A and B are shown apart, each in its own frame.
Chain A
Amino acid sequence: MTAYILNLLVLISVYAILSTTLNFIIGYAGIFSLAHAVFFGIGGYTAALVAMHVTPEFFVAVPVAMAAAAVTSLLLALPALRVRGEYFVAASLGLQVLAVTLFSEWKSFTGGIGGVIGIPAVELFGYPVYKPWQFLLMSLICLTIIIVIIRTLVHTSFGRSLKAIRDSESAALASGKNITVIKTLSVVLSSALAAVAGALYAFYMSFINVQSFMLDTSVLVMAMVIIGGTATVSGPLLGAALLMLLPSALTYLSFLPQTEIGSIQQIVYGMAMVLLMIFRPGGIVSSHPGGSK
């Protein structure tokens, strides 16, 4: 039972990193991306390959994973952020579909459908980390650092510019903000930080394949942000916890057909999203139920 709970907590903390980093661009910059799982995947694959072929040292594998995700995100951000918001959603969806194909077919990098197996235990200054509680501690520390980085950023002039762009791009332009550069930087940063979650996930599972980085994951993470509450610190954390606990909670409801838990879960997500958008568009954690940012 303890192992089960620890496993759940590690996964919640990994997804909390994903939702927190996606919230940075959705909540503060107004950029809706359906490709967050791509950067989660690039982080995972890159960290796995570095660990297997170079060194499993955390402070090498994770920065390389972050750099790979940052560079890839530039490919999306530079052309796509020159256009209006809804086009970015379409472009990110295109990247997500493209990336799934690449993850499935680029066997030398991703192992294809079979994935990457035998990822060694991550090391911190030479000491291997393999126990679930150690992983939990490590991922919680990473989550905390990421929250501090994002919280600090949104209170700087960069953060104010992001929020200005979110509220009115044309007014931000008229106030002298180079919105293309600011939006690109925010996407690059968000993607690089999402790669940390990918690296942690790869090390924790010691096996990864494309199934973890598909469109479903991007939608799930976006649901975590929207249900929890955008532009808040605790919203994405709560969203991650709720949506990760939901499948487990459903299995305890004995009257539900256990073979249909997956479908029921999707129905519950969908209903929760619809009801929230109607009654509390700002998400569960929102000081202004009418829709706060």
Chain B
Amino acid sequence: MSEQLMTAQETEKPASGSGFTGSTDAQDVLLEIRNLSKNFGGLQAINDVSLNLRAGIITTLVGPNGAGKTTLFNMITGHIPPSEGDVRWQGESVIGKAPWKIARAGIARTFQDLRLFTHMTVEENVLTMMESGSWLWQPGGKSRKAKRLDKVSQILEKTGLTDKRHTRALDLAYAERKFLSLARIMATDSRLWLLDEPASGLDPNSYNLFLQLLREEVKEGITVCIIEHNLDIVVNISDRIAFLDQGKLLADGEPQTILNDPALAAIYFGER
């Protein structure tokens, strides 16, 4: 099976995952996960995981179902408190902070099940993400509002949702919903994006657009951590890969190293 991983990598991967060509070890650490654990009763969902997310690259979390990837996202974003350990964002611990405070600090996320604001229009979905506060009027008056709407237009243009601007999220096709999820995160000013299986179920055209968008955003300075099962995507975009299994971080390093490891491939495909 490890041969299959290597074949996909050799045939489809561009020069480097997101276009970053230097050593990822040299990059600044934006988010530091230290000895993080989470128990749900008798189940150890995350077991002493330590991982650094480096600035300006794409780190992919891979591992079989139940490895604890989404739980890790939930703990980073404050949706689930860890049992032990620490998460430091730009040097400061975020443990115990409310999810909305962590989001405002610059960590944005998407959800595997999308969780769109289904009864709101595409425009409202994107606009809502730009409005950090919820006061009756946003600061800056009409000129700032015009700028926000302009930014909405640009994001919708990039994600191919311009024609759907006034359509409710509920009425979008599956791929359009996926892109709305991406458009929403693009509307935030966050430096770190945590994407939970953003490309699953996309058709080839949508998939290519997704990869192109992600690469452009990383070039603009966004740091991405992505949970992905699709090996094409893993191979094509990753600058680093972290491999989780049964709550443990088994490996963390350059894609070549991880993808060429037959033991990890066996775990991934359930052959061990």
Query: Is chain B a partner of chain A in the same complex?
Result: yes
User: What B residues does A157 contact at CB under 8 A?
Assistant: 128, 131, 133-138
**A232 → chain B closest CB, angstroms:** 12
User: What B residues does A5 contact at CB under 8 A?
Assistant: none
Judge whether B136 and A158 touch: CB under 8 Å: yes
Judge whether A167 and B111 touch: CB under 8 Å: no
Among the 9-residue stretches B46-54, B116-124, B242-250, the one with 4 or more Cβ atoms under 8 Å from chain A is B116-124
**B177 → chain A closest CB, angstroms:** 13
Q: A160-B120, A167-B117, A167-B120 are in contact. Are A174 and B77 (CB under 8 A)?
A: yes
Judge whether A177 and B100 touch: CB under 8 Å: yes
Query: What string of 1s and 0s marks CB contacts (under 8 Å) between B77-112 and chain A?
Result: 101000000000000000000111001100011010
Cα–Cα distance between A170 and B102 once the two chains are bound (Å): 13
Cα–Cα distance between A231 and B77 once the two chains are bound (Å): 31
Q: Is residue B188 contacting chain A, with contact meaning CB distance below 8 A?
A: yes
User: What A residues does B124 contact at CB under 8 A?
Assistant: 160, 163
Q: Is residue B132 contacting chain A, with contact meaning CB distance below 8 A?
A: yes
The residue from A168, A176, A231, A293 contacting B115, defined by CB atoms under 8 A apart: A168
The residue from B117, B136, B138 contacting A171, defined by CB atoms under 8 A apart: B117
Judge whether B128 and A175 touch: CB under 8 Å: yes
**A226 → chain B closest CB, angstroms:** 16
Interface of chain A residues 140 through 169 with chain B (CB within 8 A): 153, 156-158, 160-161, 163-164, 166-168
Q: Is residue B129 contacting chain A, with contact meaning CB distance below 8 A?
A: yes
Judge whether B104 and A176 touch: CB under 8 Å: yes
Q: Is residue A179 contacting chain B, with contact meaning CB distance below 8 A?
A: yes
**B24 → chain A closest CB, angstroms:** 27
Q: Is residue A104 contacting chain B, with contact meaning CB distance below 8 A?
A: no
User: What B residues does A181 contact at CB under 8 A?
Assistant: 134
Q: Is residue A55 contacting chain B, with contact meaning CB distance below 8 A?
A: no
Judge whether A163 and B137 touch: CB under 8 Å: no
Judge whether A167 and B119 touch: CB under 8 Å: yes
Cα–Cα distance between A157 and B148 once the two chains are bound (Å): 12
Cα–Cα distance between A156 and B133 once the two chains are bound (Å): 11
User: What A residues does B127 contact at CB under 8 A?
Assistant: 160
**B222 → chain A closest CB, angstroms:** 16
Q: Which residue of B lies closest to A28 (CB)?
A: B119
Judge whether A292 and B119 touch: CB under 8 Å: yes
**A209 → chain B closest CB, angstroms:** 38
User: What B residues does A160 contact at CB under 8 A?
Assistant: 120, 124, 127-128, 131
Query: What string of 1s and 0s marks CB contacts (under 8 Å) between A178-197 and chain B?
Result: 11011000000000000000
Main secondary structure of the interface of A (DSSP, over half): helix
User: What B residues does A172 contact at CB under 8 A?
Assistant: 117
User: What A residues does B69 contact at CB under 8 A?
Assistant: none
User: What A residues does B100 contact at CB under 8 A?
Assistant: 173-179
Q: Is residue B184 contacting chain A, with contact meaning CB distance below 8 A?
A: yes
**A9 → chain B closest CB, angstroms:** 33
User: What B residues does A182 contact at CB under 8 A?
Assistant: 134
Q: A177-B134, A178-B98 are in contact. Are A171 and B103 (CB under 8 A)?
A: no
The residue from B104, B115, B128 contacting A161, defined by CB atoms under 8 A apart: B128
**A290 → chain B closest CB, angstroms:** 9
The residue from A153, A167, A170, A174 contacting B136, defined by CB atoms under 8 A apart: A153
Q: Which residue of A lies closest to B171 (CB)?
A: A288
Task: List the interface of chain B (C-beta within 8 A of A).
Answer: 77, 79, 98-100, 103-104, 108-109, 111, 115-120, 124, 127-129, 131-138, 184, 188
Other than A164-B120, A174-B108, A181-B134, give 11 A-B pairs with Cβ distance below 8 A.
A153-B136, A157-B135, A158-B134, A160-B131, A161-B128, A167-B119, A171-B111, A171-B117, A173-B99, A175-B184, A176-B132
Task: List the interface of chain A (C-beta within 8 A of B).
Answer: 153, 156-158, 160-161, 163-164, 166-168, 170-179, 181-182, 231, 292-293
Q: 30 A-B pairs, CB-CB below 8 angstroms?
A: A156-B135, A157-B128, A157-B134, A158-B136, A160-B120, A161-B131, A163-B120, A163-B124, A167-B116, A167-B118, A167-B119, A167-B120, A168-B115, A168-B117, A168-B118, A173-B79, A173-B100, A173-B103, A174-B79, A174-B99, A174-B103, A174-B111, A175-B129, A176-B104, A177-B134, A178-B98, A178-B100, A178-B134, A182-B134, A293-B119
